Amino acid sequence: MKKVLSGIQPSGQLTLGNYIGAMKNFVKLQHSEQCFFMIVDLHAATQLPDPAALREQTEAVAACYIAAGIDPAKASIFVQSHVRSHAELGWIFTTLSYMGELERMTQFKDKSQGKESIPAGLFVYPSLMAADILLYNADLVPVGDDQKQHLELTRDLAGRFNNRFGEYFTIPEPYMPKHGSRIMSLDDGSKKMSKSNPNAGSFIALLDPPDVVRKKISRATTDSGREVKYDVASKPEISNLMSIYANCAGLTIEEVEARYEGQGYGPFKKALAEQVVSVLEPLQTRYQEIRASGEIHDILKQGAERAAEIADRTLADVKERMGFLAPKR
């Protein structure tokens, strides 16, 4: 079995983009690989979140994982800060990272643009992400297009460590589906659907009620014309909606095109809304059951214990190879 590692930040409401681009893949991979799925609260700390909101959203992401179909008996679900080796190896990889390569990170440039004061945590974020992945010697990392650059840095750091201290880390590979790895905003097909977008109409939250989902999709931006045809270059808006439909209905893009040939945007958007609602309603029901039961805390504890068995061993190996003096037992 290959090892798979991925995580989602507990900041804002999880969106349909998170579900299609990440969580659906998590559910699929858990049946064939050894999977570790985190709630990356240390990464969320770079935005200095409200304490109460951070606690609530951490539980909410964990519950959404399970509601989406991740089985805690098959995959380790845990909170990043509950496994202390993440922070320690994150620091070690910061010492192996170069200023120039961190400055080139597109996400750092985007998130720091226009700010007078830039948190140092935002700058070294990719080094911690590398530690997250390499603690488990992950073979596969489900990532969207916007995270590929961070994974490349992870691969570079793994190679750098191996060259200096002997072969140890697996060089991870990205896991990306053909369609849906990056769901775009409902109001701008050139931007990723983001839970941090101040315009709530730009994204569909996993916990949006059905009437809200229908309204958002009815108001989604479409391209000129009326043909339901997939062409990202000339028809980015409708192509994005078609990608959402294909993922929610379990169809190929070609099947979606054939189904709505000659029908126009109106009928297509109504049908899309019902497809999305059919996916979200059972997820929301399961989510409410999990939150009401309180079982999430036991699940996270067990997941962290399983993850720590591997992570702590990796950290100890790394420190030994680098010459850190081990404490007396």
Please identify which of the residues 195, 216, 235, 269 carries the catalytic annotation: 195
Strands (E) across 179-256 are located at none
77 vs 307: CA distance, rounded Å: 9
Please identify which of the residues 111, 216, 235, 269 carries the catalytic annotation: 111
Residue 216 annotated to the active site: no
* Residue 231 per-residue DSSP state: B
| H-run or E-run covering 75 | strand 75-79
Q: What's the CA angle centered on 257, arms 251 and 263, to 5 degrees?
A: 125
275 vs 277: CA distance, rounded Å: 5
| H-run or E-run covering 184 | none
Residue 195 annotated to the active site: yes
323 vs 165: CA distance, rounded Å: 10
Selection from 162, 234, 217, 175 nearest residue 35 by Cα: 175
Please identify which of the residues 3, 28, 178, 192 carries the catalytic annotation: 192
- The answer to whether 196 touches 227, Cβ cutoff 8 Å, is no
Residue 111 annotated to the active site: yes
Give bridge partners of residue 67 from the DSSP assignment.
Answer: none
> Any idea which residues carry the catalytic annotation?
111, 192, 195
